[in-house]
Amino acid sequence: MRYVDEFRDAQLGQALAAEILAAADPGRPLKLMEICGGHTHSIYKYSLGDLLPASVELVHGPGCPVCVIPMGRVDDGIALARTDGLIFTCFGDMLRVPGSEQTLLDAKAQGADVRMVYSPLDALAIARNNPDREVVFFAIGFETTAPSTALTLRRAKAEGMANFTCMCNHVTIVPPLRALLESPDLRLDGFVGPGHVCTIVGTRLFEFIPADYGRPIVISGFEPLDILQSILMLVRQRQDGRCEVENQYTRVVPRDGNPRALEVMAEVFELRPHFEWRGLGSIPHSALGLSEAYREFDAEQRFDVPGVSVADPKACQCGEVLKGVIKPWECRVFGTACTPEHAIGTCMVSPEGACAAYYNYGRLAAPKQAV
């Protein structure tokens, strides 16, 4: 398949691994964070870590949109879903995310009208087909998915839809990265940057990482050769004494992003003063709410949403996994009390979660062997 098969060529992968081995300094360990959960899954699906020298370590970052939704927001969603006559719509990966007592799937089993959709436009179509019922779309995602929510709301406004609202949980990637870079818990030497987010926001947004924190970042695609090439580019920056933003994913990511997507986001959203992230706490200006012009479509304004704040379960170490402080298998409940069938934390149920990647690809505990 064009644009897929050529990025999964095993021989080219071996050649890139050999170049990384030749360029890496065995005496100077390099700890790299892949920000995006999509990268984490590719890394474990294709066992890319096994191709790297012992001096290059990959740790996993906070870029999984489902993983960072706190329990309180799930509880709020469940409370909304139980409203009489209301149709609650969300992406499928939200259905099994644990709230404090239940999941949305449990609420559905008990009679709430919870429906899985593939896009916000599907939710709008449900509203169109059910004019006598309120329809809420539970929006999640980083800048990658926010434009589709924004375009849907623009269309809802143009059509004068009175029975469609959005519970907005869109988050932005820069504030948690700044929080990580300022955290004393973690020493990172560079980043594999979020290719999908950058299709919208461009690479320019990440120039603060080398400028303010002296760390390099390479914006990366998601196929195995993309990721290996990005790691090689980071190793080469270290070798050459450079520290900059580089773009490996040039076939998709322009430096200034997608201006039309940014324009509709600016029209529909505004930054929330604070937002609670699972395991990371409250981070200022890290999430999007609906702008004044779209307030009538805000489910949190139209309905009585409890707005609960719930502490993560004591056994849950999702926060440390999302900050790259521990590997999933180091969590004390990984694979025992917490499995994809009975998850305690979000990182185990999300298709982009690091714990799900380790569990699904059999990386239960893997100390690294020297290559």
Residue numbers at the binding site for ligand SF4 (CB under 6 A) = 316-318, 321, 328, 331, 333-334, 338, 343-345, 347-348, 355
Which lies closer to ligand SF4 via its Cβ, residue 51 or residue 64? 64
Min dist. Cβ of residue 344 to ligand SF4 (A): 4
Which lies closer to ligand SF4 via its Cβ, residue 264 or residue 318? 318
Is there a contact between 17 and 52 (Cβ–Cβ < 8 Å)?
A: yes
Min dist. Cβ of residue 348 to ligand SF4 (A): 4
Min dist. Cβ of residue 22 to ligand SF4 (A): 35
Cα 188 off chain centre by = 19
Sign of the Cα torsion 336, 339, 345, 347 reads positive
Which lies closer to ligand SF4 via its Cβ, residue 288 or residue 354? 354
Min dist. Cβ of residue 173 to ligand SF4 (A): 21
Distance CA 180, CA 191 (A): 12
Strands 56-63 and 113-116: unpaired
Which lies closer to ligand SF4 via its Cβ, residue 210 or residue 345? 345
Which lies closer to ligand SF4 via its Cβ, residue 285 or residue 342? 342
Report how far apart, in Å, the C-alpha atoms of 9 and of each of 14, 48, 221 are: 9, 13, 15
Min dist. Cβ of residue 24 to ligand SF4 (A): 29
Which lies closer to ligand SF4 via its Cβ, residue 94 or residue 347? 347
Which lies closer to ligand SF4 via its Cβ, residue 37 or residue 224? 37
Residue nearest to ligand SF4 (CB): 345
Min dist. Cβ of residue 332 to ligand SF4 (A): 7
Min dist. Cβ of residue 192 to ligand SF4 (A): 21
What lies within 8 Å, CB to CB, of 212 at 6+ separation is: 181
Which lies closer to ligand SF4 via its Cβ, residue 71 or residue 343? 343
